[in-house]
Amino acid sequence: MSFFGDVWRWFADGAHWQGPNGVPTRIVEHLHVSAESLAVAALIALPVGILLGHYGRFGGLAINISNAGRALPSFGILVVAFQAFGLGDLPVILALTALAIPPMVTNSYVALREVDPDIREAARGMGYRELAQVLRVELPLAVPLIMAGVRTSAVQVVATATLAAVIAGGGLGRYIIDGIATQEYVMTAAGAILVALLALATDISLAGVQRLLVPRGIRLLNAPASTRAATFKVA
């Protein structure tokens, strides 16, 4: 079909790979905003989830807030952030961070809760104190599910970053939004393909990181657990 031919030609056109509206620039913008948001969200969400899971406190509350948080429409959050904070990267990062926190909190909490109580007791019996126990015993066991949460958040952040173009942000969403505005559907399709590839690449590479981080013994034991991510799609 000639439409696919047109899309192929769009990618083959060197002009589309240079300058402020070029593919490399847009990818970098997209990744920059996504990475920052994910990092900030992880810094907040992981300690909270891990601690709550370790002590077994307020779990119900944490999970319920997380679920409510996932019901928040990502488009709505972005527009609210824009209206509150204006133009630029800050509102986008704030919105994306807010969306990235719930899956990581839930998964870390559940991951820590699922550590076998016998193992906890054994660690205590061996003389591990609180922090050491968390770091050396519970966390390694919890890594599969925690990483699944990080992976879920990462893919969601990359997906929602596409919407940033609606509030005059950059990133790959620019091709989609501008294409719809000017009915240049070839550009829209090109942007869509790039976003899809980026999202898939994020998922696959984090799956790789997950493999690396899980101690081999645990991986052999726990193969199905890593797929048990609570995956709500938000964008």
Does 234 interact with other proteins (rule: CB under 8 A)?
Answer: yes
Q: Which is nearer to other proteins, 40 or 72 (CB)?
A: 72
Distance between CA atoms of 178 and 184, rounded to whole angstroms?
A: 8
Stretch that binds other proteins, among 9-17, 40-48, 72-80, 213-221 (CB under 8 A): 72-80
Q: How many residues bind other proteins (CB under 8 A)?
A: 56
Does 58 interact with other proteins (rule: CB under 8 A)?
Answer: no
Per-residue burial over 86-123, b if 16 or more Cβ lie within 10 Å, else e, is eeeeebbbbbbbbbbbbbbbbbbbbbbbbbeeeebeeb
Residues 187, 178: contact at Cβ < 8 Å? yes
Does 54 interact with other proteins (rule: CB under 8 A)?
Answer: no
Distance between CA atoms of 80 and 91, rounded to whole angstroms?
A: 9
Among 28, 132, 200, 207, binds other proteins (CB under 8 A): 200
Of residues 19-38, which lie at the interface with other proteins (CB under 8 A)? Answer: 20
Contact map string, positions 153 to 172, toward other proteins, x by CB under 8 A: --x--xxx-xx--xxx----
Stretch that binds other proteins, among 37-45, 74-82, 137-145, 211-219 (CB under 8 A): 74-82
Among 31, 79, 213, 218, binds other proteins (CB under 8 A): 79
- Map residue 170 onto helix, strand or coil: coil
Instruction: Spell out the long-range contacts of 196-203 with Cβ–Cβ below 8 A and sequence spacing 24 or more.
Output: 198/27, 198/30, 198/31, 198/158, 198/172, 199/155, 199/158, 199/159, 202/34, 202/154, 202/155, 202/158, 203/151, 203/154, 203/155
Does 223 interact with other proteins (rule: CB under 8 A)?
Answer: no
Does 48 interact with other proteins (rule: CB under 8 A)?
Answer: no
Distance between CA atoms of 205 and 211, rounded to whole angstroms?
A: 10
CB of 126 to other proteins, least distance (A): 34
Does 183 interact with other proteins (rule: CB under 8 A)?
Answer: yes
CB of 81 to other proteins, least distance (A): 10
Residue appearing with tokens 């052999």: 220
Residues 76, 235: contact at Cβ < 8 Å? no
Tokens encoding 47: 């300690």
Q: Which is nearer to other proteins, 149 or 173 (CB)?
A: 173
Which positions touch other proteins (CB under 8 A)? 3, 20, 67-68, 70-77, 79-80, 82-83, 86-88, 155, 158-160, 162-163, 166-168, 173-174, 176-185, 188-189, 191-193, 195-196, 199-200, 203, 230-235
